[in-house]
Structure 1
Amino acid sequence: MRTGNEPMTARSALRMRFWLSLWGLAWAVFGTVAFILVGRPGWAAACAALWLVVTVDMSMILRHIRQGPHYQPGRDVPPYEPVDERRAYRPPERRRPSGPAHL
């Protein structure tokens, strides 16, 4: 269950994701060029596809970084609506089996 302090303690790993995607982009470009030079078109196409995926991911990461922090509710805002005790679900009570007790 949420405690309500998640917005205060949450941290984003966007900058780390950016640097890791930059590292992946460098290797995808290197792989594409290297496989083209040695005459391996299949591997070059795979690296080019990875290059495209990494580029799209990096653009999304940069978009999220540029958006900046978003509104987070303060400590006085409860994480969920309080439970109405009158409407809360209560499981039915178990009945004891009828019949002789020695069986």
Structure 2
Amino acid sequence: MNQFFEFEKNDGIEEAKRAISTLLMIGSESNLIVKYIMDNTQNNSVVFLTGVGKSYPLIRSHNVLNNLHQVLDEVPVIMFFPGKYSGTDLILFGTIKDQNYYRALSLVK
């Protein structure tokens, strides 16, 4: 972690985000977060995603959801999101709009 903090300090947050995205293969079919979830989820499970606010801006929840949706269709996924769901998009912390469309249901209104 200290090496990463030093990297961010020297190269900036945008370069740090790019490095994390590359390391975790966020934009590819080999996305390591999605792979981990797939490898550790049984058919009769429910997946709970937490900590998305803590991972912002290094990991964006829409990247995980979009990639996960394509491969995990038999198991419900519940994401605890620190913000609002407008019915079409997520608004992180009630202020940061990502303008990505989701086919999701809000469990709490």
Looking at secondary structure, tell me which structure has more strand per residue.
Answer: 2
Looking at secondary structure, tell me which structure has more helix per residue.
Answer: 1
Superposition TM-score, scaled by structure 1 size: 0.27
Which gives a bigger RCO, structure 1 or 2 (Cα 8 Å, sep 6+)? Answer: 1
Superposition TM-score, scaled by structure 2 size: 0.26
Q: Whose radius of gyration is greater, 1 or 2?
A: 1
